[in-house]
Chains A and B, each alone.
Chain A
């Protein structure tokens, strides 16, 4: 006759134990798992005998193993892994969400709205809106055909071009701003030429647009190229035989088919553009009303008026979350609508209506 009991207990708020029922018969075995820290779960395993749950802090126990049953080791191991993983996930989530939650709960909503109504905030909102819209329009208008060509045509040096297009992605934003300054600033590479035409780019609103374009367009181009690459060549060929020239093929076939991927790429690029700080502040400066975008306003308000800074921060979070949601929805609808399964059998369901 074998009686086996065992338990494992864990401290620090989360306790669990594996208890194996002490039945009078050898073949009886029971166990249960209990989990602490707010989430309770139990797994009861048994072949006829009942199990018991023990919960407590500071409880200690021993693991005893019945020689007939060899499953104890793996159960304990699996349990330990499960608990560890849960803890890890909880920690990571807490780390990521806490700053956001903190911002939202710092002040009552009423104060948030007041903060957003201040002159600094409204100026920043207008600057951000205007510069991002212009940059976005340029990005889509010029970037889309560019991505189309890059995505569908093979030419010597193609991979080099694509890699170059992605360079701003790995460039630290401040360095990007520095580069823009040195290239387009009054005494920079192109600056002399531009000044001759009376164009002075640095520290103007145009500079903001350029900075946003520089850092955000690689995000768009990368996604757009991938989206265009995925378009079925056969469909473009068929469009050609139906009389569509290259432009019409791009506009009426390629872009609609790639639209989900394009939208998702645009969303990512837009989010990057809205949040752009380093390049903007170096190349365009932080002048309220002209070049002070929302992120720049946060930085400038940080010392003087923390409340307003936080209000703007909350606004930016909401905008970012909205963009994230939009991009997920766009990508989801794209992948589902582009599939026509070639193997539909029998009469169509449509005909039956």
Chain B
């Protein structure tokens, strides 16, 4: 579809594109299962005919596998979003692809359907065990669907790691922001056990990372605990409390935290009133404001990661 200017694309031992050697295999010859954002079902063909287009013969087994065998004769416009996705998947599978490409798989779905569809898709992808590349803007979707996540910012791969790794050790402030973490600026002073961070707008946090000078600190909403403002190093004013899928989210002026109903009651959270915050020093990650990875990072530099997700044979 698009011809890259430079680079190399290979799937296992098959070379698809190499700018230097002038190789560019056409889309028809690469065995890709591609699902665009609106699934790309042919509107003039029914589901069975759509699947037939790819495989040159009927594939009731594939329809069965994705759970829409009863819709074989339906036209795409009569299907719901989730059903269309499954029909498009069945069609892509009929091609016997070596890799699946899903572009924003839930973009075309409404909020209620997308959770259900997402869970079903996660199960299906696991069962298929095909190398799959999913493009999404939702970190939450990525954590549910993927074993490994590559975060791309301004056209560059910033970090490639598992969801757990990314949450624990975001490579840059942007990655941290993607995960929904709190990011604040401050000045770090090294200490015996790490550093003390004086936050720009008041308050102090202890980190187990040694650092010095202007820094950004990253802490996840569930890593902060409520405390008595009088006896805390850090306090912030309450903006509001709301519930999100059974979880309580407390919004403060500079932080967003997750809290228990008991804690909310214990500290009598009131709009406009300050509340104390504390966190474990190991949970306060320090990012120095450059492109370099965090000081304590145990993972390899993302840009020198030689094991590309798709070339991984294991």
- Once the chains bind, are A351 and B34 in contact (CB under 8 Å)? no
- Once the chains bind, are A242 and B1 in contact (CB under 8 Å)? no
Contact with A along B58-84 (1 / 0, CB 8 A): 000000000000110010111111011
Q: How many of chain B's residues have a CB under 8 angstroms from any CB in A?
A: 36
Contact with B along A231-242 (1 / 0, CB 8 A): 000110111111
- Once the chains bind, are A343 and B77 in contact (CB under 8 Å)? no
Residues of A within 8 A of B54 (CB): 242-243
Does any Cβ of A come within 8 Å of B14's Cβ? Answer: no
Does any Cβ of A come within 8 Å of B124's Cβ? Answer: no
Does any Cβ of B come within 8 Å of A340's Cβ? Answer: yes
Q: Contact residue range for chain A?
A: 20 to 34
The chain B residue with its CB closest to the CB of A340 is B77
- Once the chains bind, are B32 and A241 in contact (CB under 8 Å)? yes
Residues of B within 8 A of A348 (CB): 71, 74, 78-80, 83
The chain B residue with its CB closest to the CB of A348 is B80
Which residue of A256, A257, A345, A350 contacts B74 across the interface (Cβ within 8 Å)?
A: A350
- Once the chains bind, are A344 and B80 in contact (CB under 8 Å)? yes
Q: Give min CB distance, B66 to chain A, whole Å.
A: 14
Does any Cβ of B come within 8 Å of A339's Cβ? Answer: yes
Residue with the highest number of chain B CB atoms closer than 10 Å, among A240, A245, A340, A343:
A340
The chain A residue with its CB closest to the CB of B76 is A340
Does any Cβ of A come within 8 Å of B191's Cβ? Answer: no
Give the distance in Å from the alpha carbon of A339 to the alpha carbon of B38 in the complex. 12
- Once the chains bind, are A238 and B81 in contact (CB under 8 Å)? no
- Once the chains bind, are A240 and B36 in contact (CB under 8 Å)? no
Given A339-B77, A340-B43, A342-B108, check contact A241 B71 (CB 8 Å): no
Give the distance in Å from the alpha carbon of A5 to the alpha carbon of B275 in the complex. 79
- Once the chains bind, are A243 and B28 in contact (CB under 8 Å)? yes
- Once the chains bind, are B110 and A343 in contact (CB under 8 Å)? yes
Residues of A within 8 A of B113 (CB): 345-346
Does any Cβ of B come within 8 Å of A86's Cβ? Answer: no
Which residues, 185 to 235 on A, are CB-close (under 8 Å) to B? 234-235
Does any Cβ of A come within 8 Å of B181's Cβ? Answer: no
The chain B residue with its CB closest to the CB of A252 is B53
Residues of A within 8 A of B42 (CB): 235, 239, 253, 256-257
Q: Give min CB distance, B41 to chain A, whole Å.
A: 7
Which residues, 324 to 339 on A, are CB-close (under 8 Å) to B? 337-339
- Once the chains bind, are A237 and B79 in contact (CB under 8 Å)? no
- Once the chains bind, are A345 and B81 in contact (CB under 8 Å)? yes
Does any Cβ of B come within 8 Å of A347's Cβ? Answer: yes
- Once the chains bind, are B44 and A337 in contact (CB under 8 Å)? yes
- Once the chains bind, are A237 and B36 in contact (CB under 8 Å)? yes
The chain A residue with its CB closest to the CB of B40 is A238
Does any Cβ of B come within 8 Å of A244's Cβ? Answer: yes
Residues of A within 8 A of B262 (CB): none
Q: Give min CB distance, B81 to chain A, whole Å.
A: 6
Contact with A along B267-307 (1 / 0, CB 8 A): 00000000000000000000000000000000000000000
Given A239-B53, A242-B95, A344-B79, check contact A338 B43 (CB 8 Å): yes
Residues of B within 8 A of A347 (CB): 80
Given A234-B40, A257-B43, check contact A344 B53 (CB 8 Å): no
The chain A residue with its CB closest to the CB of B83 is A348
Does any Cβ of A come within 8 Å of B258's Cβ? Answer: no
- Once the chains bind, are B44 and A256 in contact (CB under 8 Å)? yes
- Once the chains bind, are B1 and A344 in contact (CB under 8 Å)? no
Given A243-B28, A341-B77, check contact A234 B43 (CB 8 Å): no
Residues of B within 8 A of A245 (CB): 28
- Once the chains bind, are A349 and B53 in contact (CB under 8 Å)? no
- Once the chains bind, are A238 and B34 in contact (CB under 8 Å)? yes
Give the distance in Å from the alpha carbon of A87 to the alpha carbon of B71 in the complex. 55
Given A338-B43, A350-B74, check contact A234 B38 (CB 8 Å): yes
Residue with the highest number of chain B CB atoms closer than 10 Å, among A238, A245, A340, A345:
A238
Residues of A within 8 A of B70 (CB): 351
Given contacts A245-B28, A346-B112, 18 further A-B contacts (CB under 8 A): A234-B36, A237-B34, A240-B26, A241-B28, A241-B32, A241-B92, A241-B95, A242-B54, A242-B91, A242-B95, A257-B42, A343-B81, A344-B77, A345-B112, A345-B113, A348-B74, A348-B83, A351-B80
Top 10 A-B pairs, shortest CB-CB distance = A238-B40, A240-B27, A348-B80, A242-B54, A241-B34, A342-B108, A340-B77, A256-B44, A350-B74, A345-B110
